[in-house]
Amino acid sequence: MIIFLQNNNLNSLIPELRQHGAYSPHLSGVNYKHMYYNITNTTSSSTDKTQIKTELQQYGIKEGILKLDIVHKVCNLFPKNIKIKTLSFVKINPNKKIDKHVDNKKNRSTVLSIPLTPNFSKYKPVTFYDFETNWIDLPFLMPTEKLHSVDNNEYTRVNFQIGFEYSIDTMNNYYKNGQLFL
């Protein structure tokens, strides 16, 4: 299940996220680094080139918090009892593929994904193998503990992602009960 989020405070921050996360020379975008994901044990590395490759600027609990005001603004939308485990700007280059995998359940059981580029009509969504989704132009919660992949199209794809250790059902309950955002 994918949960599309309607939240005015979150939506108001998306233009500023786009400004920082967009891979464009005229914007103040972040510097991306290569990361390689091992789909067998759900680990990541910046050096193991035999694994699935993507580019991201990732900051989580161990790495420290990304030093951008916009990231703090987004994080401050959540109550303190909802623990954020990872923060990332994730870029997938045109025509690149992220093979089938599941994410680390401890840090990314559910991910809030905010598509930044390209615009929605050109955005290539995630493919899940346990269910189908009718995609709409909103930030969404996705169960990354379920098998998924991305087979990107001809556009650079950038998302801002927040990882949580909670199941998609738990996050859905928070959202339905008005407890996900302050």
Q: For the whole model, what pTM was predicted?
A: 0.82
The confidence score (pLDDT) of residue 65 equals: 42
Q: Which of 24-33, 46-55, 124-133, 151-160 has the highest mean pLDDT?
A: 124-133
Does 29 have pLDDT greater than 50?
yes
Q: What is the pLDDT of residues 103-149, one digit of tens each?
A: 877 878 999 999 999 999 999 999 999 999 999 999 999 999 999 99
pLDDT tens per residue across span 62-117: 333 455 678 888 989 999 999 888 888 888 889 988 888 888 778 789 999 999 99
Rounded to 5 degrees, what are φ and ψ at 171? Answer: -65, -35
Across the chain, mean pLDDT equals 80
Q: How many of the other CB atoms lie within 10 Å of CB of 127?
A: 14
Q: What 8-state DSSP symbol labels residue 126?
A: P
Exposure class string for 128-153: b at 16+ Cβ within 10 A, else e: beeeeeeeeebbbbbbbbbebebebe
- Cβ atoms within 10 Å of 29's Cβ, excluding its own: 20
Residue 69 Cα distances to 14, 52, 75, 90, 114, angstroms: 13, 31, 10, 18, 17
